[in-house]
Amino acid sequence: EARFLPQALAKQHIDLYIATANMGLPLGRKPAGRRYALLLHDLFQLTEHNHHNSRFKALAYRAIDALSIAWSVWIADRVWCPSQFSANEAARLFPFARAKLRVLPNLVPGFPQAAGERPAQLPARFWLAVGTREPRKNMPLFVDCWRQARQQSTAVPDLALVGHPHDLPAELRDLPGLHWLSNLGDAELQALYATAECLWQPSYAEGFGLPVVEALSLGTPVALARGSALDEVAPPASPRFAAHDRADLSACLLRLANQPPERDQQALRDWAARFAYPAYAARLQQLLLELNH
């Protein structure tokens, strides 16, 4: 960022450079005539307690990230965020950047081929959740509420959980009806989405919510926590619950166990299409034209 990148951009006569990882714009004075855009997915590196192996690493990464993100937001001509939630967070943390913030929802191209068969170890009826590593995914609370709901009603389906058992407390790792899956290819993940009765997304903080849109693109209903970008990526009628409210989450689990969400596949696919190539290309072109004026 300090030496190689400025030299490479000058050598290649780059007019517009887009940094795609929350940071990474060149250090130093910006040459006349050059434009910078920053893709800022979220600010959880600064606002959440991310998963690190040591407290020292966590503090070091937070300090480095804070400086790098702040610089890139400062020097950028435009900051593109995948959701209004992320844009609002950027405005809150960096008020000076408010005028340069724009929303560019992530591209979710869908899956290129027909879905495969349901994994053999799963029953015909199951729920799905994807992602366990970061605390903001809220999986310990979700799995514990699911466990308690199964004790209250035999109608609660098995749960397929894509992640690693060590991301949950020991007492939640080996529950009856809990199926761990990991190291999945695209075709395997697609089959899970397509055959699940419902995708659950209990995160209390998301900058976008890729699994939600991927599930919807295959016509699979979703149930998700209120708040953050999850308010933007799913249809308004999707079942929702308060992320930190155990009673509200439990009630939603029991309700959908007895009355599964409506599987209006075409309506769900139509909603997901707003994040597909045509919509993304149109919005990106609009933002690029804005930069050129």
Which pLDDT tens digit goes with each residue over 77-107? 999 999 999 999 999 999 999 999 999 999 9
Which three-class secondary structure state does DSSP give residue 261?
Answer: coil
The C-alpha atoms of residue 172 and residue 164 are separated, in whole angstroms, by 12
Q: Which amino acid is at 203?
A: S
The CATH superfamily of 126-272 is Glycogen Phosphorylase B; (3.40.50.2000)
Q: Which two tokens stand for residue 32?
A: 């006349």
pTM: 0.92
Q: 254-269: string of b/e by CB count within 10 Å (b at 16+)? A: bebbeeebeeeeeebb
Neighbours of 95 (CB within 10 A): 8
Q: Over 90: is that where the pLDDT of 19 sits?
A: yes
Average pLDDT, the chain: 94
- pLDDT at position 214: 97
At 263 the pLDDT is: 87
Residue 101, strand partner residues: 79
Start and end residues for every CATH 3.40.50.2000 domain found in the chain: 4-107+277-291, 126-272
- Is 59 a residue whose pLDDT tops 90? no
| Alpha-carbon gap, residue 118 to 116, rounded angstroms | 7
pLDDT given at position 63: 86
Q: In this predicted structure, what is the pLDDT of residue 103?
A: 99
88 Cβ neighbours under 8 A, 6+ residues apart = none
Give the Cα separation of 223 and 257 in Å (integer).
12
Nearest to 82 by CA among 58, 108, 63: 108
pLDDT at 58: 72
The correct CATH number of 4-107+277-291 out of 3.40.50.1370, 3.40.50.2000, 3.20.20.70, 3.40.50.720 is: 3.40.50.2000
Residue 52 in this model has a pLDDT that exceeds 60: no
pLDDT tens-digit map of 206-236: 999 999 999 999 999 999 999 999 999 999 9
pLDDT reported for residue 110: 85
Q: Are 248 and 68 in contact (CB under 8 A)?
A: no
More confident residue, 52 or 17: 17
pLDDT at 137: 97
Q: For 114-172, how does the pLDDT look when each residue is reduced to its tens digit (9 = 90+)?
A: 777 888 889 999 999 999 989 999 999 999 999 999 999 999 999 999 999 999 999 99
